[in-house]
A = this chain, B = another copy of it.
Amino acid sequence: MSSSHVPAASGPVSPSQSADVVHRPVPGPGTQLAGGLLGDWQRRSSAVSLPLAVTQMEAAGNLGNLRLAIAASDGTADEPYRGPAFMDSDIYKTLEAIAWELARPGTPHAADAVGAFTAEATELLEKAQQPDGYLNSHVQVTGKPRYAQLASSHELYCAGHLIQAAVAAHRGAAAGESEAARQAAAGLFAVARKFADHLVEHFTGTSLNDGHPIIETALVELYRETGHAPYLQLASQFVEQRGRGLIGDSGFGSRYLQDHEPVRTSATEVGHAVRALYLEAGVADVAAETGDRELLAASVARWTDMVATKTAITGGNGSRHSGEAFGDAFELPPDRAYNETCAAIASFQWSWRLLLATGESRYADLMERILYNGFGASVSADGRKFFYVNPLQRRIDHFEDDRPGRRREWFSCACCPPNIMRLLASVQHYLATTAGDVLYLHQYTAAQLAARLPAGDFELAVSTDYPWAGKVTITVRSAPAAEAGLALRVPGWSPAAELTLNGAPAPTAGSGGYLTLTRQWQAGDTLTLDLDLSPRLTFPGRRFDALRGTAAVERGPLVYCFEQADQDSADVEDLALSGAVLSGPAVAGAAVSGAGLAEREVSLPGVGETVAVTVPATHRPAAASVPFAAEPDASAAAGEPATATAIPYFQWDNRDGAAMRVWLPVQQPGSAGSGGDA
């Protein structure tokens, strides 16, 4: 077998050869999306969103701040710094997205303004960087002392994003086709290393720490890229010193900063969700590179707790606007869910690290849930607008906000949009892993894959309309010389899966959420996985107070939602799932999946192609306004027969911005169907 199609360059998260991981990512541009929903999202982000971000870096003042920092060094700065203290990080995330873009064969940005942004920004960064390596436009322009307010200054947060961008440039753009991009990438990498070396000198052995994590995972990645151990050691130091009350007061208390309890003993996620989840990525990275199983186990335990008690059905995290915080266990308000887009991205990144560390499919399950739902909804159908907050319900008639909670083009705190872009630009790296002579497919989407196994190189073509259709066809383009395994994830939501090899039932070994077929593969072999995407109802656990008495519609990996635009004349808040969907053995425990649910393919203006699902419902407009009464609300057990229509949650808010809800009340027992007043 020729190995020419399997390059060595890597994507995000590249464990060192000595790392304690069960799975390893599949390196390089040998994996490419080939259409499909994820391919569409990646193309849209590249063609529409990313140019917007580059424009915003000038319009919002991010680049201007760098110019002011340059001018400040010779005292000629004559304008005030613009925006929040972490404006530099938006530049870095944009640079990271561009780096992954430029790594893809045939990128449209090789010779356009987006592609040229790296050189432009890097030149400013090189000039702004101080002689000892320090770089932060906010501190340099305002003249505030370095590292004096680490609880809130975001200096290491910005440094972390710089390093991540530089690592991406080193792995991505530097491996791409553009010579100019390679040169800019080298410059960016040099700036980042110089800053990192300064950080090692300044922070190693101290008890200083930043209020907003990300430097931890960034330093581990830089260690992976350079082999320079002090980076790993400093990352480990930051991880270990957190939770000891050393960071100081950012004004929101110690839990907000995860500074209330060390990561080795903390049992549950608390505080600012994005901080907590970026920290976990760093914890998992440090554990992997140091072989620290205790550290890994603590992170895994928190992940398990988070998924069981603090994660929305969309994969979102953060139940509180106040403090942008996780909230208590079982606190999952659909209407007031915060579910910041950046938290979804951070959880996705953390879960990927735990998947590599353990090989357990549950991490890929959550990644899929996040990808198609909590993360997927963050971009408008046209790629031009973004959600910062991702609730599961909007009562538009009564919405109490000066802004009605719709997607926006940009934000004064613009952390989310370029974060979305850096994930989408590199999303193909999260499809597959290898473990020994087994190639694991975790996410299904039309793609080309190339992986190097000890048995030899594997090249596959994946053909599927997933998540719209459940059939996934994998054609072997080039097989390893020796026997090798192909392991296909059976999603946790799927009750069953059928696998055929060249048209006949495949003799798989199924374990741990994967169907594995080990054999001597031949070019032309075709493996077909069939997943049942019938729409189904999903019910919340008893303790989720805010979800009691409701159910949601799911279909494959997609969570559905009921938007006002699809409900004919019924107010979406007056709809309930028909009690009939719960009739028979359901309440005694038998599954009711799919009872009465129907689907149809439609194209909706503003939304695009979709599969709508209808479900038997009742409709009963509110009559009297008695908030509390001596008897159960009879209208909850009544109503005219109706049909409620749902579309995928990721497609919401592409029309009139009216009401939406994921969790629909279930009609209460009693005078069901009578429709009469009680």
Contact = CB atoms under 8 A, between A and B. Distances in A.
Contacts of A329: 395, 397-398
Nearest to A540: B628
Contacts of A634: 587-589
Contact of A540 (B328, B397, B589, B627): B627
Nearest to A592: B631
Interface string A563-598: 000000000010000000010001111111100000
B336 A331 contact: yes
B587 A260 contact: no
A588 B546 contact: no
A675 to B, nearest CB: 13
A477 interface: no
A333 interface: yes
A552 B397 CA distance: 28
A254 B626 CA distance: 30
Contacts of A666: 632
A400 interface: yes
Interface in A401-434: 401-403
Interface residues of A, number: 85
Nearest to A593: B630
A320 interface: yes
B629 A541 contact: yes
Contacts of A669: 587, 669
A47 B271 CA distance: 40
Interface string A633-656: 111110000000000000000000
The interface residues of chain A, by DSSP majority, are classed as loop
A545 interface: yes
B328 A398 contact: yes
A371 interface: no
Given A538-B628, A541-B633, A592-B630, 18 more contacts: A255-B402, A308-B626, A322-B322, A328-B400, A329-B395, A329-B398, A334-B545, A537-B630, A539-B631, A540-B633, A541-B625, A543-B573, A543-B622, A551-B632, A587-B668, A588-B634, A591-B631, A669-B669
28 contacts: A253-B403, A255-B402, A268-B398, A304-B625, A309-B625, A309-B627, A331-B395, A331-B398, A333-B546, A537-B630, A538-B628, A538-B630, A539-B628, A540-B627, A540-B628, A541-B627, A541-B629, A545-B546, A549-B549, A552-B628, A586-B632, A587-B637, A587-B670, A590-B631, A591-B630, A591-B631, A592-B630, A592-B632
Pairs of residues from A and B, 6 with the lowest C-beta to C-beta distance, nearest first: A589-B678, A587-B670, A308-B625, A253-B402, A329-B398, A321-B322
Interface of A: 253-255, 260, 268, 270-271, 304, 307-309, 311, 313, 320-322, 325-331, 333-336, 393, 395, 397-403, 495, 536-546, 548-552, 573, 582, 586-593, 622, 625-637, 665-666, 668-671, 677-678
